[in-house]
Structure 1
């Protein structure tokens, strides 16, 4: 009967947490170990097994409060992971795409007639989007580490989640804008060679992956009470 006290507490705690499975598992393992150590200490003072476990759980804290603290920690970790992905992957993806385009397609002005000026503006804006999003993510990482001790983890988690979500959204809109602009100017340009089609598929796979990370990051941060 006594074992059910710790098991029930850990199970209830785990059901309230969202984040990396490995990190959740590590936190729950640490919790169980702490409760077991406290139980053994109370057993040494003459309490029964069930009384010792109940006392250990009471001293550890209400499950809702502990879950809130753990969730803030998980949200910050997930936000940091997502920002790192944005800071590193976006510029690499953009450079790979641009290199492939220049190698296999050539400059925009080599497409027969020169595209209209507004099209070049859209293309340049799309190019800048990845760089700006990556730079903002990197800046957020640096500032987050500097401010970690001065600001509440909940605020940092929500800030990281919001930045991640907006950055991915901007990159997504930039790519959709250039596709729509290309279709308007010359739909034939959307039909690419196999290498470029593969590169496009990889690009969209990365964007979707980043979008999922940003959404999970936002989800982890918004459930922090």
Structure 2
């Protein structure tokens, strides 16, 4: 059961128990994991359960609990090796979370710019719409990329090729960058209209809301992009997992 703790009176009397050994290992591992907090907690609980089960198995064979804990930790691998083994999985969780945030904020920001800048005849002349809102092709590309990421990292991997963690985070970073470019593009378009005097016909209230929406989303998109790029860098430095932890990772099911 996750979160179980072992009680070792003899080891405690010596000042070092199996719980202390496992806790120290998990603290080291937790400091090396990067990703959403709930995903890191899930990994730590999984590793704790694995170690506790191994200790119980060794103690049934007559090994003292403290020694059993040391052997269990050694068999699993160093905290650095285990962190590298889970780096890809945590990177995908992070990328999908960032994309959800950006996709949720997209319509909230975009609707105000559409109301503000879309010409009255845009339905009859789509080219006028793109000319008025040049960020639209960027938005379309970002949405398509996000859909590809979700499809190739979720339950659809039964039918489509599964994306590698590195490719996933790179695509997520590109979506974040597209959001930044899109916001800067519409802000620039509004600034140009203000400088040329053509913004006088635009509703001031909607313009203020649109600018504020982009101003709020810009740092969010920048944070999402930078954090994802950093995780991509860690993935490049991560060492391939081997041994028992490598077998555990390779046997994990697809991500939902």
Relative to the length of structure 1, the TM-score reads: 0.77
1:138 aligns to what? 147
* Matching residue within 180, 193, 203 for 1:169: 180
CA RMSD of aligned residues (A): 3.2
Greater relative CO (CA pairs within 8 A, separation 6+): 1
**Residue pair 1:122, 1:178 contacting (<8 A) in 2 also:** no
Would the alpha carbon gap of residues 28 and 143 (structure 1) be closer, same or farther in structure 2, given more than 3 Å must change? closer
Indicate whether 1:155 and 2:166 are aligned. Answer: yes
**Residue pair 1:122, 1:177 contacting (<8 A) in 2 also:** no
* Matching residue within 50, 53, 59 for 1:34: 50
2:92 aligns to what? 76
* TM superposition shift of 1:47: 0.7
Indicate whether 1:62 and 2:73 are aligned. Answer: no
Distance across 2 between alignment mates of 1:19 and 1:125: 34
* TM superposition shift of 1:124: 3.1
Distance across 2 between alignment mates of 1:41 and 1:76: 33
**Residue pair 1:91, 1:131 contacting (<8 A) in 2 also:** no
Structure 2: stretches of 5+ with no match in the other structure: 1-15, 122-127, 239-256
2:228 aligns to what? 217
Q: Judging by fraction of residues, say which structure has more helix.
A: 1
Distance across 1 between alignment mates of 2:145 and 2:99: 9
Distance across 2 between alignment mates of 1:93 and 1:188: 19
Would the alpha carbon gap of residues 213 and 189 (structure 1) be closer, same or farther in structure 2, given more than 3 Å must change? farther
**Residue pair 2:130, 2:136 contacting (<8 A) in 1 also:** no
Would the alpha carbon gap of residues 29 and 52 (structure 1) be closer, same or farther in structure 2, given more than 3 Å must change? same
* TM superposition shift of 1:177: 2.6
* TM superposition shift of 1:218: 2.1
* TM superposition shift of 1:195: 4.7
Distance across 1 between alignment mates of 2:110 and 2:213: 11
The alignment covers a number of residue pairs equal to 212
Would the alpha carbon gap of residues 189 and 74 (structure 1) be closer, same or farther in structure 2, given more than 3 Å must change? farther
Indicate whether 1:127 and 2:136 are aligned. Answer: yes
* TM superposition shift of 1:10: 0.5
CA offsets 1:71-97 (integer angstroms, 9 cap, x no match): 211111111122233345424531343
**Residue pair 1:38, 1:56 contacting (<8 A) in 2 also:** yes
* Matching residue within 179, 185, 198 for 2:209: 198
Q: What secondary structure is seen at the aligned counterpart in 1 of 2:134? A: helix
Would the alpha carbon gap of residues 208 and 141 (structure 1) be closer, same or farther in structure 2, given more than 3 Å must change? same
Distance across 2 between alignment mates of 1:210 and 1:195: 22
